Amino acid sequence: MDSPILFVSSIALCFAALLVVFIFVLKPRNGRIPLERRREGVVPDSSTVGRVSQSAVQFVDTAMGRSGGPFNREVLYMAGVKQAPADFTVMVALATVIVGVLASLLLNLLVGILLAIATPFIAKLVLALKTGKRRSVFDSQMTDTIQMLIGGLRVGHSIMRSLEAAAQEAQAPTSEELSRIVNEVRIGKDPRQALEDCADRMDSDDFRWIGQAIQINREVGGDLAEVLDQVSGTIRERSEIKAHVKALSAEGKISAYILMALPVGVGLILTVMNPKYMSIFVTNIWGIGMLVVSAILFVIGGFWMSRTVKIKF
């Protein structure tokens, strides 16, 4: 069991499994129906690995049902992930197995189990970070979005036609959100509710103001383009204040990053310089317990510092 050939072979198999995940499970699917499927009685030819991966995705999709599990369609949409919930769940499950096996081979079984348990939570954290970044990009595009709406209104378009034109001209994620509003209204959803839902999804007070201005105009009339122009000025001033506050709080953020990176960096350096000194944290039960407690305190401290340097507008 201590043969280096067996050890290297195990690692190679893990990486081969990871390669299969990226090639067959994570490859993008286009929405068109393949030509072979259009013909009755013709079964598309696919490899054994492809059929196995597709069967696994279908099984997970059936098991999750309409809820979609922890990685449901809405969560993935908010993070800007184009995969189906079943595909993403299979990816996370395979990543969990691969991380657990590699950690068990390189370190020990207990550490492998802990890392395997942590993998789905890490995936959830990554999605949360991507969601926050997507919302930030949406806010940064808000001024351009309003200008496109104003331009459409001033040439005589209705507000829904202006939203549709802005969706075609804007970049993601604004284009995706505006297209969703237009499509929801087309299938019978109340425009006010569609705008409010978009503001809630993107956690944007600026877009909520736009929705309120549109709704007031629908009720009392008036020059909506002029109202949106005034709203645009207010949003622009808020953006300038945000940029000023971010510049003033940059020092605190850099300090937080350094404090977060310091223990990790010191641990890695000590591991390289004196592996036996650090091996107690992965071989001894007390060392593993200390490592787990340190990780928990590390997360709590990081969250605390992030709340300290984050300014809520």
The rounded Cα 176 to chain-centroid distance in angstroms is: 15
- Whether the CA torsion 303, 308, 309, 310 is positive or negative: it is positive
Which residue do the tokens 């929705």 mark?
211
The span from the CA of 189 to the CA of 180, in Å, is 11
How far apart are the C-alpha atoms of 311 and 245, rounded to whole Å?
8
Q: Which long-range contacts (CB under 8 A, 24 or more apart) does 270-277 make?
A: none
pLDDT at 32: 39
DSSP letter at 45 equals P
Q: Are 17 and 98 in contact (CB under 8 A)?
A: yes
d(CA 299, CA 201): 26
Nearest residue to 85 via CA among 127, 132, 118, 22: 127
DSSP 46: -
**Fold category of 140-238 in CATH:** Receptor-associated Protein (1.20.81)
Closest C-alpha to 283, from 271, 295, 273: 271
The model's pTM: 0.69
Longest dimension (CA), the chain: 81
pLDDT of the chain, 313 residues: tens digit per residue: 445 555 555 566 666 655 555 544 444 444 333 433 344 444 444 555 455 556 555 655 565 556 667 788 888 889 888 888 888 888 888 889 898 888 888 877 877 888 889 899 999 999 999 999 999 899 888 888 899 999 988 888 888 899 999 999 889 899 999 999 999 999 988 888 999 999 999 988 889 988 888 888 888 877 888 888 888 888 888 888 888 887 877 777 888 888 888 888 888 888 888 888 888 887 888 888 888 888 898 888 888 887 777 766 5
CB under 8 Å to 48, separation ≥6 — which residues?
none
CA angle 75, 162, 222 (to 5 degrees): 115
pLDDT of residue 88: 85
Amino acid 184: pLDDT: 92
Q: Tokens 């990081």 correspond to what residue?
A: 302
Cα 222 to Cα 215: distance, rounded to the nearest angstrom: 11
Cβ contact 88:56 at 8 Å: no
> How many helices and strands, by DSSP H and E, does the chain display?
15, 0
pLDDT at 34: 40
**pLDDT the model gives residue 127:** 93
Residue-range domain boundaries for the chain: 4-27+39-133, 140-238, 243-309
Token output for 191? 């425009």
Burial class (CB in 10 A: 0-12, 13-18, 19+), 148: buried
Q: What does the radius of gyration of the chain's CA atoms come to, in whole angstroms? A: 26
Contact (CB, 8 A) for 200 and 145: no
Give me the pLDDT at residue 5, please: 56
CA distance 180 to 161: 13
